[in-house]
Structure 1
Amino acid sequence: MTQDSGWPPLREELRGIAPYGAPQLDVPVQLNTNESPYGPSAETVADVAAAVAEVAGGLNRYPDRDFTELSRALAAYLTPDAGGNVIGPEMVWAANGSNEVMLHLLQAFGGPGRTALSFAPTYSMYPEYARDTHTGWAVGHRNEDFGLDLERARRLVTEQRPALVLLPSPNNPTGTALPHEAIGVLCEAAGDGLVVIDEAYAEFRRAGVPSALELLGEHRNLVVTRTMSKAFAMAGTRLGYLAARPEIVEGLRVVRLPYHLSSVTQAVALAGLRHAPELLGYVDRLRSERDELVAWLRAQGHEVADSDANFVLFGRFADRHAVWQALLDRGVLIRETGPDGWLRVSVGTPEEMAAFREALTAAVGAPRTRAQEQGR
């Protein structure tokens, strides 16, 4: 008896599609998912364990559906970045990673007959959020330096009238940040549509680069998302969050699953916020390591995108997969993502960066500079 090729009855647009995910390989140097290379201290681990133990006795009861204490703590954490604005707990939404936060936004404000828009190259999950919520997908394109042509972007938003504009800042996979001017122009162009600034890597931005949180008071349609996965070194916690007008947050309550944030997740996230100075203490070290890496790659003759994140996009390679594989063969895992010819490497410890530099040099040598190629 032969199995019907149409079974199981998967949605037609999902047939043959591989699930999203970076490779998870057991190699000595893992620099492909932009995690922090620094784990929490013994003191933080003990506080997390105590917090989990405290809620464990009540696991027979559902968690606080509105994560009241966590909302207050997240609002207090965000307010110093808001340029004098006060972010209240009623402006905060949290979920299981910023991925679920984004999905909630598309569920509530996207859907059939509506469109989400972004500018490539950008985070590869965005079109998947649109697909999964039956939201139309429109894409513009960035400049050669991965910045936005602001007038061209404004025209596209005006023409498309998207329900949501999704823009990471710093952008993934390029690392480039958006100026305030661009955010303001796109908020105006979007009309009633939401402009979602995805600040998953915001804590790593260079000095003088402001957060979009500063503009929340000026644009009712602005949403700023964050995560505890990167700078807080809590990728395993799966806690993402956003700040927006209370009316937007109320819309998200409609689409969330019941009791979507477990008691354990809330307790662990609160413990992380209590230890924010320690956990964020590695950010300056990673920034410095990133800037040294950018300088070294450029000195070797590689093209490198300016980065305000904890990763660096570099190239260009005629066969980037061969370079990726050559690094993997030497025990260094980076990410094959972004535009053709480019690779992305997360910033790790000094020892990991030394291993990366050694492996890259062995894999490709020192690329010829443009001047050398022109015979000068």
Structure 2
Amino acid sequence: MSTWPQWLPLREELAPMSAYGAPQVEADASLNTNENPFSPSPELVKAIAARVTEIGSRLNRYPDREATELRTSLANYINSQSATSIDISNVWAANGSNEIIQSIFLAFGRKSALGFTPSYSMHPLIAKVTATPWIDGTRRKDFTLDCDAAASQIESLRPTLTFITTPNNPTGSALLISEIEMLARSTQLVGGLLVIDEAYAEFSSEKSAITLIEKFPNVVVIRTMSKAFAFAGARVGYLVAHPSVIDAMRLVRLPYHLSALTQVAASAALEFSDELLATVQGLIAAREDLASELSALGLEVIPSCSNFLLFSGFKRASADVWKDLLDKGVLIRDVGLEGYLRVTIGNGAENKKFLMAIKEVLNK
């Protein structure tokens, strides 16, 4: 039953909704939001501080609304990682990837959007907020995506926007570039965009969908600096796409939407990309070790190409297991899939504490 006051003219479709957000509670090991557990190095912190000091006297002026320096740095980073030749005209930056997602819906969500759940829960949520009809596509029972079936759904439903997340959240599975190309062709045939959310791309060995944009201008790739770059607090997301898509972003952006402080901090972080990406390899190794440890406990672990693991095999309700872990100081994520929980890969101490806690909980 709605608790909104009668005098408040809230849109009817929003009334039954709840605000998005993972639980923010105190825990010894917070492994629920897929953050990178490693803080920026002292050298990077100094570089950010120097850049902020440099622009401090100019904060009475609005920031560069085109974020020229940042977008140029992002283009250079992408080219170094994917052997592409994109430039600033292919890149858009915003306050986190969620703002990018919202802008895509605002610009293109005139008919319907299709996504294959379970996947990133913000896609259907932002669709509803922007009044875009959302269609839940299907996955296999093991949560992997049957691309032939997905292509058939695209061809029959003819959505304006088709969302796929690779590596997928909350499962961690990744698509082959050949599978993404098949979906790009299917969306192109129905006059739609294929939106690929690559928030966890740096943790996967699969080829990025960015490499398809030249051949398929309807391919739109969303990225973030929150995960691999350990920059969640700065809130920087970006889009890589055909220049026409970038032009459309300008139509729906808020004026001066990316602060001068954010722009210079992110530009400084990109100068340390080699250092930051070195931690990714360590997290991948820790992910595989943790998966082996959980499997040895008799749990079923979904193969992951990301910085988290989805696992099941409990003898009790997953919500009870989650609560028992929290009581032991370990916060992981109940993603709403009955029988499954998700744990972020933390630092060595956090992973050890999680393993000790899950062993105790399983033996309860």
TM-score of the two chains, using structure 1 as the length reference: 0.93
1:284 to 277, 281, 285: 281
1:197 and 2:228 equivalent? no
The alpha-carbon deviation at position 181 of structure 1 amounts to 2.1
Matches within 5 A, 1:90-109: 90-109=89-108
1:25 and 2:52 equivalent? no
Report the counterpart of residue 374 of structure 1 in structure 2. none
The alpha-carbon deviation at position 4 of structure 1 amounts to 9.2
Report the counterpart of residue 334 of structure 2 in structure 1. 336
The alpha-carbon deviation at position 127 of structure 1 amounts to 0.7
The alpha-carbon deviation at position 57 of structure 1 amounts to 0.8
Partner amino acid for 2:355? Answer: R
- The question of whether the paired residues in 1 share the 8 Å contact of 2:168 and 2:174 is answered with yes
Partner amino acid for 2:350? Answer: E
Report the counterpart of residue 60 of structure 1 in structure 2. 60
2:166 to 161, 165, 169: 169
The alpha-carbon deviation at position 103 of structure 1 amounts to 0.6
Report the counterpart of residue 180 of structure 2 in structure 1. 183
- Superposed CA deviations along residues 155-187 of structure 1, whole A, max 9, x for unmatched, are 110111111111110000000001112211111
The alpha-carbon deviation at position 56 of structure 1 amounts to 1.4
Partner amino acid for 1:303? Answer: E
Report the counterpart of residue 266 of structure 2 in structure 1. 269
Report the counterpart of residue 132 of structure 1 in structure 2. 129
SS at match of 1:74: helix
- Superposed CA deviations along residues 52-90 of structure 1, whole A, max 9, x for unmatched, are 1111111111110101111110000001333x4301110
- Superposed CA deviations along residues 178-213 of structure 1, whole A, max 9, x for unmatched, are 1112211111111221111111001111x4x21112
Matches within 5 A, 1:53-92: 53-82=53-82, 84-92=83-91
- The question of whether the paired residues in 2 share the 8 Å contact of 1:81 and 1:213 is answered with no
- The question of whether the paired residues in 2 share the 8 Å contact of 1:81 and 1:214 is answered with no
Runs of 4 or more consecutive aligned structure 1 residues displaced over 4 Å after TM superposition: none
SS at match of 1:167: strand
Alpha carbon RMSD of aligned pairs, Å?
1.4
Partner amino acid for 1:188? Answer: R
Partner Cα separation in structure 2 for residue 167 and residue 16 of structure 1: 26
Matches within 5 A, 1:123-272: 123-191=120-188, 192-205=191-204, 207=205, 209-272=206-269
The alpha-carbon deviation at position 91 of structure 1 amounts to 0.1
Q: Unmatched 5+ residue regions in structure 1?
A: 367-376
- The question of whether the paired residues in 1 share the 8 Å contact of 2:78 and 2:84 is answered with no
Partner amino acid for 1:365? Answer: N
Partner Cα separation in structure 2 for residue 329 and residue 6 of structure 1: 39
SS at match of 1:73: helix
Partner Cα separation in structure 1 for residue 22 and residue 139 of structure 2: 24
SS at match of 1:351: helix
Partner Cα separation in structure 2 for residue 274 and residue 33 of structure 1: 26
- Superposed CA deviations along residues 68-121 of structure 1, whole A, max 9, x for unmatched, are 111110000001333x4301110001100000011111110113xx11111011
Task: Check 1:292–1:94 CA distance in 2 against 1; reply closer, same or farther (3 A cut).
Answer: same
Partner Cα separation in structure 2 for residue 278 and residue 23 of structure 1: 31
- The question of whether the paired residues in 2 share the 8 Å contact of 1:85 and 1:214 is answered with yes
Partner amino acid for 2:36? Answer: S
Report the counterpart of residue 6 of structure 1 in structure 2. 6
Report the count of equivalent residues: 359
- Superposed CA deviations along residues 274-317 of structure 1, whole A, max 9, x for unmatched, are 11122222101100000111111112111111101000000033
Partner Cα separation in structure 2 for residue 100 and residue 211 of structure 1: 21
Report the counterpart of residue 34 of structure 1 in structure 2. 34
- Superposed CA deviations along residues 124-180 of structure 1, whole A, max 9, x for unmatched, are 111111111111100112112221112211111011111111111000000000111
SS at match of 1:37: coil
- The question of whether the paired residues in 1 share the 8 Å contact of 2:164 and 2:195 is answered with yes
SS at match of 1:343: strand
SS at match of 1:171: coil
Identity %: 47
Report the counterpart of residue 369 of structure 1 in structure 2. none
Report the counterpart of residue 351 of structure 2 in structure 1. 353
- The question of whether the paired residues in 1 share the 8 Å contact of 2:301 and 2:311 is answered with yes
Partner Cα separation in structure 2 for residue 173 and residue 195 of structure 1: 20
- The question of whether the paired residues in 1 share the 8 Å contact of 2:90 and 2:240 is answered with yes
The alpha-carbon deviation at position 338 of structure 1 amounts to 4.5
Task: Check 1:100–1:246 CA distance in 2 against 1; reply closer, same or farther (3 A cut).
Answer: same
SS at match of 1:261: coil
Query: Which stretch has the larger CA shift, 263-272 or 292-301?
Result: 292-301
Q: Unmatched 5+ residue regions in structure 2?
A: none
Partner Cα separation in structure 2 for residue 236 and residue 5 of structure 1: 34
Partner Cα separation in structure 1 for residue 288 and residue 86 of structure 2: 32
Partner amino acid for 1:343? Answer: L
